Amino acid sequence: MNNNKPLIIGIAGGSGSGKTFFLNSFLHHFKHDEVTLLSQDDYYIPAGEMTQEENKLYNFDLPSTIDDEQFLIDIKKLIKGEVVYKKEYNFNNPLAVVKILEINPAPIIIVEGLFILHFIEIAKLLNLRIFIEADEEVALLRRIKRDGMERGYPEDDVVYKWENHVVPAYKEFLLPYRNSCEKIVINNMDIPDEIIRITAEITDELKAKFCS
């Protein structure tokens, strides 16, 4: 990389946009020691420190649920070439075995999450912003499928959170930054080959522009 300073790539997308698959495809184009990933999900404040709504549900779709100060500190550590140790987020499951993540510095640092563009000090560090989006109906169906299969949430619960938490947060804290992003990826079709092709194109551009 030029000047030995890492390239910071921000990847943002709403729930159900297919961000995880995009990320995995994107990472696949790099060698293990070329890239490192820091995820906003690992910076949730414990649910016990949040305020419940009247229906006893927590709203995790607010910037205030993220420890953005520690998130910023850890990004800066990676930029300086330091190793970051972080507890993995366990979705507030008291039975989960919490792993300690060892996040090593690398020439390319990927920062991903819903609010990374909203957190001004974090957004300032990003050299390239990638915005992943999908139509609302497509994204909701993906969310229902994921939360039902992976987390055992009933569909009524998922739809309630979608209408009252997810969509309002997306419109207020993410969508306003869409047009400031250098890359916008529309991901409605669930076609792996297409996402792999797009991530390959972006990777080739990056390597041509930033890598010697």
Name which of 195, 201, 192, 187 is nearest 132 in CA terms. Answer: 187
Using a 10 angstrom Cβ sphere, with 0-12 exposed, 13-18 middle and 19 or more buried, the burial of residue 210 is middle
Rounded to whole angstroms, how far apart are CA atoms 141 and 147? 10
Residue for token pair 């550590």: 77
pLDDT digits 0-9 by tens, 102-129: 999 999 999 999 999 999 999 999 999 9
pLDDT at 1 over 50: no
**What is residue 59's predicted lDDT score, i.e. its pLDDT?**
85
Distances (CA, A) of 26 to 126, 196, 201: 17, 7, 10
pLDDT digits 0-9 by tens, 42-91: 999 876 655 555 555 678 899 999 999 999 999 999 999 999 999 887 76
**What is residue 56's predicted lDDT score, i.e. its pLDDT?**
52
**What is residue 4's predicted lDDT score, i.e. its pLDDT?**
77
pLDDT digits 0-9 by tens, 146-190: 988 878 889 999 999 999 999 999 999 999 999 999 999 999 988
Q: In the chain, where are the structural domains located?
A: 2-210
pLDDT at 8 over 90: yes
Using a 10 angstrom Cβ sphere, with 0-12 exposed, 13-18 middle and 19 or more buried, the burial of residue 166 is buried
**What is residue 29's predicted lDDT score, i.e. its pLDDT?**
93
pLDDT digits 0-9 by tens, 128-144: 999 999 999 999 999 99
Q: pTM for the full model? A: 0.90
Rounded to whole angstroms, how far apart are CA atoms 144 and 16? 9
CATH code that applies to domain 2-210: 3.40.50.300
**What is residue 93's predicted lDDT score, i.e. its pLDDT?**
66
Name which of 179, 191, 138 is nearest 162 in CA terms. Answer: 138
For 5, residues 6+ apart whose C-beta sits below 8 A from its C-beta are 79
